[in-house]
Structure 1
Amino acid sequence: MSATTTVAPARRSRGFNLEKWGWIFMRASGVLLIVLIFGHLFVNLMVGEGIHALNFAFVAGKFASPFWQWWDVLMLWLALIHGTNGMRTIVNDYVNNDKVRTVLNWALGLSAALLIVLGTLVVFTFDPCAGVFEDGAMWETCQALGK
């Protein structure tokens, strides 16, 4: 006589599933990051004079354009959130202590939020003429801009 066992069907919880949306975000942001990063590298290293044109004036010129500001901010946001979500997954997989896991996840979230805020402020408030003195290389350019 053989014993038969019945397996109860898996329960599906209703509501927001963080792991599912984290998985979807990682795939979508990864594809978008590839486009953003390679576009960034192409424009910075291949267009115009290439790598020889990279200097402070090049960056100032890029950050003067709202298109490039948003391109770089989107790249920053996606990279930080993508990396933080990956680290969160590693912490959840390998840290067994609930309190340590909670502290590490909070530290990841807070550090990512701080870097996102600071990076966004740098991009949108970048002023190439801040701190330029009369004997500086940018003095004439800033005078021509009226700053």
Structure 2
Amino acid sequence: MSTVAEPRSPYARTASSGTNWEKWGWMYMRASGVVLVVLIFGHLFVNLMVGEGVKAIDFAFVAGKWATPFWQYWDLAMLWLALIHGANGMRTIVNDYSSSVVLGKVLRGAIYASAAILIILGTLVIFTFDPCPSVSPEQLGLLPSFCPPQ
């Protein structure tokens, strides 16, 4: 009584119900990897090659960059793709190496939760970033020098 089919027996494809999530996860990894390479090299080129190089990257540089919606969406796409790409890779590792069903579910839940929290927080930082917030008179010295007096 063998549970493995004979080597020369014809392959019997079983009817699957629903979506093949492993196939779509595999395809996402390839597509997001290509897009991430473009986004990351564009990010590095603008931050390190254009202008004064790495010595110019400071609070004012980020504030000026995020004042333009183009760079907000560029960084948002990089954030979302990188976090989902990494979470999908970690999910694959958990699926391959988890020793029990319960442990796999707990680890995948932790991966999904941490990715969701980081995506939400990163998105909030990108779109709510204000380099010149309104502050009390005692805190005026804490504002960057390029902020107008209030």
Give me the TM-score of the superposition, normalised by structure 2: 0.86
1:52-91 matched pairs, under 5 angstroms: 52-91=55-94
Correspondence for 1:143 among 141, 144, 148 = 148
Distance 1:137 1:122, change over 3 A: closer
Amino acid at match of 1:143: P
Give the aligned length. 142
With the length of structure 1 as denominator, give the TM-score of the two structures. 0.88
1:13 corresponding residue in structure 2: 16
- The residue number in structure 2 matching 1:51 is 54
State the match for 2:100 in structure 1: 97
Q: How big is the shift at 1:6?
A: 3.4
2:135 is equivalent to residue 117 of structure 1: no
- Contact 2:66–2:126 at 8 Å: present in 1 too? yes
Question: Which residue of the partner structure matches residue 40 of structure 1?
Answer: 43
Distance 2:33 2:8 in 1: 43
| In the alignment, structure 1 residue 108 sits paired with structure 2 residue 111 | yes
Q: Which runs of 5+ in 1 are unaligned?
A: none
- 3-state SS of 1:142 partner: coil
Gaps of 5+ in 2: 1-6
CA distance in 1, matches of 2:50, 2:11: 61
Secondary structure at the residue paired with 2:60? Answer: helix
Provide the C-alpha distance between the structure 2 equivalents of 1:112 and 1:123, rounded to a whole number of angstroms: 16
Which amino acid is the alignment partner of residue 19 of structure 1?
A: E
More deviation, 107-116/5-14: 5-14
